[in-house]
Chain A
């Protein structure tokens, strides 16, 4: 067991973890933050994506012990301070950018990372950035549309509904 200290969604957390405990398992099992999902075992699907020290990380590729001292944000920490959904979350709802919801936390976290680096991405840039996130429900149309809307761009040219 290794003692780790980290900040998760602004709260300081101290825990003892096995050396081989993945950050994804630590968040889900130990912290009961089950919004971070496990969709594959090869770091391909992106359902487990969180931010570690402000960078997008697939939490199934990192040991919890490696996050010692880090600032971790998960989907549970994304809403506005007053509890309302943030701009990205609202855009996903407004533009039907989710169906079953399983890939959604990873999509929202990926979008937050994208827009931080590139506040006005083109469609091609959005699609390229989603390379590591798989959605099986939406055919991506409304995800791309929601992301562009969240960035404040005019999306009226993209097909309706």
Chain B
């Protein structure tokens, strides 16, 4: 090795062929005999009491098969929050029931209160129009600070709109306060992390089948984690025994977090399929996606950075209001807390960190993890306030960061926010970034921009994130109600090819190509003889799916462990075949040989022998060659990076264009550099989108104003530049067998502060003393800030 399709090879993706030829199989592409259509009646008001729902007219409409309302689900459970967070005073968070269909009250525009099942979508839509719902509109709770001071409640039975008031680490609060009080210089910044809609291009879709012969259900659904969805439906919502429910997530057209969660529509189609004894499908239209997919971000934060006279960081103190929307989505309580507060020491040796997060219910769609999930919010707050501090004390922003970086000899490093970083070298990343981005040439490029009448700004960012989200022990302490391991089964078939069943789900990440590269490298065989099986709970071991940049670090490690078990057993079989002790058997390039001899058998011969065990020593070796491993790591992985960007700003219009964007990341070892680079590109696109374009806007009545692609500014090709991406500075993760860190979210974490810092630098270079601007940095906001400066 290295083989051309082993570890480190930029192998092109095998899954591409079906996507490029129209042969992909997404949930809505699956058509089942007798399939009926579900359409939901959704609230048009943000907060209201359901006085009555009259379905009698709708029931008589052509094609109508059944109508469900919240009354039909009062006897079943609710969709739970996956993490229990305790407030500073030790009381548990408020956890209102999230029913399959709204009952008693509707709590956001788009909240479903009824569903019609009909022969066709059109008939179901017509019948929904005929449902007479008497909903008394109440004042909407939209703004978070108003929500905490007012007397209108999203959940009347709770009597407050505050879900929790969390402190991290509460024991550090007094020391942090004291450090800030006694500091030479304190920089304060108040900022908004704008609310985003994930906008996977495939709208959510769920299709349920019921087989009354054996009381079994099959749910095809747009999910990043079919086993988690099955567990939630079985254990919490409908009570269908897990062994009677198969959940299949076939090709899924992007997730970015929004398809982690179980949604009520999945439960509804299951219930309807049983009642009607027919397959039932629901497919969201884009408006429903905007109104009901879990949104992301939506933090309002005040952050303070305390420094001594030399610019050494003494403390970060943060107060954040985090919108959780109308109901708690499955990860909603973890995102603003443990995926955010624990990262608030950044890449720095700062000794004091205290984070306070108040989670707030509002009459808006649920808010949950979206690409990066809490870590973009942490990085944005830190890296914006550091830039502001550098300007205030007259120091170069790169030099200030370098002065406070954790140094390579300090690992493992216990951060002041409670994590233990395993590896990294932030100065080396910064060095490499300055080199590949040609930072030295910025002054010349600025002159060239100015000659065109444009302002040019330079922005920088250093990030660290905790991903590969796992250690069950750690997340258990932090409030997770599930474990976060993953699983793989490596099945060697008799003819020598392999099926590898994995708990991770691939919806763009290229697992079908990258995972076989790992197994091929270990076994010394062609990757083309190895297939990945994923997304079907009836075929794969119980894994926790794909999110938090965990697939390779956690599930890939399970693949390694299972493959190691296969190798160990194969060596026993080869030893038997070669009449040698298995401890003398070596595996190289797909051949098992007796050390120091020319006696060998091929991997294929061993595989065949495993299934044709004539003359097998059955007391020592079982027939077959198939192994399963569950892998639960010792820690998160900690990717880090140094990013920079250059923007051109037109002072006449306020329009900002990203001209150069450079991302230098430490992902540890890299399995497929082409795929890793693509992951960073995608994150950069979403991060620049957040910084310049995207915003989710509710009016004071809780109406979503940005509910279509005409109103929500999705980044398009013209809005984005070519990127420079480098991952040459890898420091392997110290605790997983591949030495890999997660790469899926990095670009979305590192880029927003980089862009905004560059915009502020551009405005400053134009003589405007603007020290803060909120995202999205729209032309109107830039122009206004410059006029008012």
A and B part of one assembly: yes
Give A residues with C-beta under 8 Å from B.
Answer: 20, 28-29, 32-42, 44-45, 47, 74-76, 78-79, 85, 89, 92-94, 96, 98-105, 108, 123, 126-128, 130-131, 133-145, 158-161
Q: A100 and B507 in contact (CB under 8 A), knowing A29-B31, A35-B23, A139-B720?
A: yes
Residues of B contacting A138 with CB < 8 Å? 678, 681-682, 685
Residues of B contacting A159 with CB < 8 Å? 722-725
Taken together as a complex, chains A and B put the C-alpha atoms of A44 and B202 apart, in Å, by: 14
Taken together as a complex, chains A and B put the C-alpha atoms of A133 and B385 apart, in Å, by: 36
Q: Give the residue of A35, A36, A104, A144 whose beta carbon is less than 8 angstroms from that of B722.
A: A144
| Residue in chain B with minimal CB distance to A43 | B709
B57 at the interface (CB under 8 A from A): no
Q: A108 and B252 in contact (CB under 8 A), knowing A39-B201, A96-B674, A139-B720?
A: no
Residues of B contacting A102 with CB < 8 Å? 24, 26, 200-202, 253-254
Q: Give the residue of B122, B202, B677 whose beta carbon is less than 8 angstroms from that of A161.
A: B677
Contact B510–A134 (Cβ < 8 Å):
no
Taken together as a complex, chains A and B put the C-alpha atoms of A35 and B10 apart, in Å, by: 27
Residues of A contacting B508 with CB < 8 Å? 99-101, 137
Nearest-neighbour CB distance to chain A for B458, whole angstroms, equals: 19
Contact B31–A32 (Cβ < 8 Å):
yes
Contact A134–B714 (Cβ < 8 Å):
yes
Nearest-neighbour CB distance to chain B for A75, whole angstroms, equals: 4
Contact B22–A105 (Cβ < 8 Å):
yes
Residues of B contacting A137 with CB < 8 Å? 201, 254, 508, 678, 682
B718 at the interface (CB under 8 A from A): yes
Taken together as a complex, chains A and B put the C-alpha atoms of A10 and B344 apart, in Å, by: 60
Nearest-neighbour CB distance to chain B for A87, whole angstroms, equals: 12
Residues of A contacting B685 with CB < 8 Å? 136, 138-141
Contact A139–B747 (Cβ < 8 Å):
yes
Contact B203–A99 (Cβ < 8 Å):
no
Interface segment among B13-21, B91-99, B176-184: the answer is B13-21
Taken together as a complex, chains A and B put the C-alpha atoms of A143 and B20 apart, in Å, by: 13
Contact B708–A44 (Cβ < 8 Å):
yes
Contact A85–B286 (Cβ < 8 Å):
no
Contact A92–B16 (Cβ < 8 Å):
yes
Residues of B contacting A136 with CB < 8 Å? 199-201, 254, 256, 682, 685-686, 714
B716 at the interface (CB under 8 A from A): yes
Residues 279-322 of chain B, each 1 if its beta carbon lies under 8 Å from chain A, else 0: 00001011100000000000000000000000000000000000
Give B residues with C-beta under 8 Å from A.
Answer: 10, 12-13, 15-26, 28-29, 31, 122, 199-203, 251-254, 256, 283, 285-287, 507-510, 673-675, 677-678, 681-686, 688, 708-710, 714-718, 720, 722-725, 747
- A selection of 7 A-B contacts at a CB cut-off of 8 Å is A33-B22, A38-B283, A45-B286, A99-B254, A108-B20, A128-B718, A140-B685
Nearest-neighbour CB distance to chain A for B21, whole angstroms, equals: 6
Contact B20–A41 (Cβ < 8 Å):
no
Residues of B contacting A75 with CB < 8 Å? 20-22
Residues of A contacting B708 with CB < 8 Å? 40-42, 44
Residues of A contacting B725 with CB < 8 Å? 159, 161
Residues of B contacting A41 with CB < 8 Å? 285-287, 708
Taken together as a complex, chains A and B put the C-alpha atoms of A102 and B17 apart, in Å, by: 13
| Residue in chain B with minimal CB distance to A103 | B201
Taken together as a complex, chains A and B put the C-alpha atoms of A159 and B709 apart, in Å, by: 30
| Residue in chain A with minimal CB distance to B20 | A89
Contact A143–B22 (Cβ < 8 Å):
no
Contact A85–B26 (Cβ < 8 Å):
no
Residues of B contacting A42 with CB < 8 Å? 286, 708-710
Contact B19–A78 (Cβ < 8 Å):
no
Q: Give the residue of A103, A104, A131 whose beta carbon is less than 8 angstroms from that of B718.
A: A131
Residues of A contacting B510 with CB < 8 Å? 99
Contact B254–A76 (Cβ < 8 Å):
no
Taken together as a complex, chains A and B put the C-alpha atoms of A39 and B31 apart, in Å, by: 18
Contact B202–A139 (Cβ < 8 Å):
no
| Most chain A C-beta atoms within 10 Å of own C-beta, residue among B201, B256, B688 | B201
Residues of A contacting B673 with CB < 8 Å? 161
Residues of B contacting A89 with CB < 8 Å? 20-21
Taken together as a complex, chains A and B put the C-alpha atoms of A41 and B288 apart, in Å, by: 10
Taken together as a complex, chains A and B put the C-alpha atoms of A45 and B712 apart, in Å, by: 12
Residues of A contacting B254 with CB < 8 Å? 99-100, 102, 136-137
Q: Give the residue of B19, B678, B717, B724 whose beta carbon is less than 8 angstroms from that of A130.
A: B717
Taken together as a complex, chains A and B put the C-alpha atoms of A99 and B674 apart, in Å, by: 11
Taken together as a complex, chains A and B put the C-alpha atoms of A130 and B717 apart, in Å, by: 6
| Residue in chain B with minimal CB distance to A128 | B718
Contact A37–B19 (Cβ < 8 Å):
no
Residues of A contacting B25 with CB < 8 Å? 34
Q: A99 and B12 in contact (CB under 8 A), knowing A134-B201, A141-B722, A159-B724?
A: no
Residues of A contacting B678 with CB < 8 Å? 96, 99, 137-138, 142, 161
| Residue in chain A with minimal CB distance to B371 | A136
Nearest-neighbour CB distance to chain A for B62, whole angstroms, equals: 13
Q: Which 8 A-B pairs have the closest CB atoms?
A: A35-B22, A139-B685, A101-B19, A102-B253, A99-B508, A44-B709, A100-B508, A75-B22
Contact A78–B12 (Cβ < 8 Å):
no
| Residue in chain B with minimal CB distance to A124 | B718
Residues of A contacting B710 with CB < 8 Å? 42, 44
Q: A76 and B253 in contact (CB under 8 A), knowing A102-B202, A103-B201, A138-B678?
A: no
Taken together as a complex, chains A and B put the C-alpha atoms of A139 and B744 apart, in Å, by: 13
Residues of B contacting A33 with CB < 8 Å? 22
| Residue in chain A with minimal CB distance to B286 | A40
17 other contacts beyond A37-B202, A44-B708, A78-B22, with CB at 8 A cut-off? A34-B22, A34-B25, A34-B28, A34-B29, A38-B203, A45-B709, A75-B22, A93-B20, A99-B510, A99-B682, A100-B507, A108-B20, A136-B254, A139-B684, A140-B717, A141-B681, A142-B681
Nearest-neighbour CB distance to chain B for A65, whole angstroms, equals: 16
Taken together as a complex, chains A and B put the C-alpha atoms of A102 and B253 apart, in Å, by: 5
Contact B10–A161 (Cβ < 8 Å):
yes
Contact B31–A127 (Cβ < 8 Å):
no
Contact A100–B202 (Cβ < 8 Å):
yes
Contact A99–B22 (Cβ < 8 Å):
no
Taken together as a complex, chains A and B put the C-alpha atoms of A32 and B29 apart, in Å, by: 8
Taken together as a complex, chains A and B put the C-alpha atoms of A131 and B434 apart, in Å, by: 33
Nearest-neighbour CB distance to chain A for B143, whole angstroms, equals: 28
Q: Give the residue of B10, B253, B283, B674 whose beta carbon is less than 8 angstroms from that of A100.
A: B253
Residues of B contacting A94 with CB < 8 Å? 12
| Residue in chain B with minimal CB distance to A135 | B201
| Residue in chain B with minimal CB distance to A134 | B714
Contact B202–A39 (Cβ < 8 Å):
yes
| Residue in chain A with minimal CB distance to B253 | A102
Taken together as a complex, chains A and B put the C-alpha atoms of A144 and B201 apart, in Å, by: 18
Taken together as a complex, chains A and B put the C-alpha atoms of A59 and B13 apart, in Å, by: 28
| Residue in chain A with minimal CB distance to B677 | A161
Taken together as a complex, chains A and B put the C-alpha atoms of A13 and B440 apart, in Å, by: 63
Nearest-neighbour CB distance to chain B for A125, whole angstroms, equals: 10
Taken together as a complex, chains A and B put the C-alpha atoms of A30 and B678 apart, in Å, by: 36
Residues of A contacting B199 with CB < 8 Å? 136
Residues of A contacting B714 with CB < 8 Å? 134, 136
Contact A158–B722 (Cβ < 8 Å):
yes
Contact A93–B716 (Cβ < 8 Å):
no
Taken together as a complex, chains A and B put the C-alpha atoms of A142 and B681 apart, in Å, by: 8
Residues of A contacting B31 with CB < 8 Å? 29, 32
Taken together as a complex, chains A and B put the C-alpha atoms of A99 and B200 apart, in Å, by: 12
Taken together as a complex, chains A and B put the C-alpha atoms of A94 and B11 apart, in Å, by: 9
Nearest-neighbour CB distance to chain B for A58, whole angstroms, equals: 12
Taken together as a complex, chains A and B put the C-alpha atoms of A74 and B22 apart, in Å, by: 8
| Residue in chain B with minimal CB distance to A93 | B16
Residues of A contacting B287 with CB < 8 Å? 41
Taken together as a complex, chains A and B put the C-alpha atoms of A78 and B203 apart, in Å, by: 25
Residues of B contacting A141 with CB < 8 Å? 681, 685, 720, 722-723
Taken together as a complex, chains A and B put the C-alpha atoms of A36 and B22 apart, in Å, by: 7
Taken together as a complex, chains A and B put the C-alpha atoms of A143 and B681 apart, in Å, by: 11
Q: A139 and B681 in contact (CB under 8 A), knowing A102-B202, A161-B673?
A: yes
| Residue in chain A with minimal CB distance to B199 | A136
| Residue in chain A with minimal CB distance to B252 | A100
